[in-house]
Amino acid sequence: MLVFSLMQKIPAPLAPVTLVIGYLFEGLIRMRNRLYSAGWLPQHRLAHPVISIGNLTMGGTGKTPLVIYTAQALLKLGFLPAVLTRGYRRSGKERRHVLAPEAGFSADAAVLGDEPALIRRHLPAIWMGICKNRYLAGCAIAQKCAR
């Protein structure tokens, strides 16, 4: 819906330009995916199953409520999920935050980011990793859980 409304606001003379930019972007993404498939770019895998919710750039599509719902459903099934997030627009100086379940609700939106704070408010009993590199956050949580 958001993409459609944005497309309606593009002036007609710019439409061909945005089409070309879109094709260039698609080509770059396809090339990047081929580099991953060929093993030229490193892939990192966590030791535990991962459910990825989201896409490259679009905001406002309901990802945060879906993360909360999915984690709550996993908790009801007896699993202890961890949420890994970038913490977009966070002001915290630390490169990585790891919040343990026993820490409860200790989420400052200015430090962690608004989405991690919202998730933490709804899910205080889970592990949470906030880092630009979610793989590193996942490794930090796995290391702390192994102790």
Q: What is the pTM of this model?
A: 0.73
pLDDT given at position 106: 63
pLDDT digit string, tens, across residues 95-118: 778 888 877 666 677 778 888 889
pLDDT given at position 86: 85
What are the backbone dihedrals phi and psi of residue 22, each rounded to the nearest 5 degrees, phi first?
A: -60, -45
pLDDT digit string, tens, across residues 56-109: 556 677 888 999 999 999 999 999 999 999 887 776 666 778 888 877 666 677
pLDDT at residue 141 greater than cutoff 60: yes
pLDDT digit string, tens, across residues 22-53: 899 999 999 999 999 999 999 899 998 889 88
Which SS3 state, helix, strand or coil, does residue 105 take? coil
CB contact at 8 A, 101 and 80? yes
What are the backbone dihedrals phi and psi of residue 128, each rounded to the nearest 5 degrees, phi first?
A: -140, 130
Domain limits of the chain? Answer: 2-38, 63-146
pLDDT given at position 1: 44
- 36-75 as b/e: b if 16+ CB within 10 A: eeeeeeeeeeeeeeeeeeeeeeeeeeeebeebbeebeeee
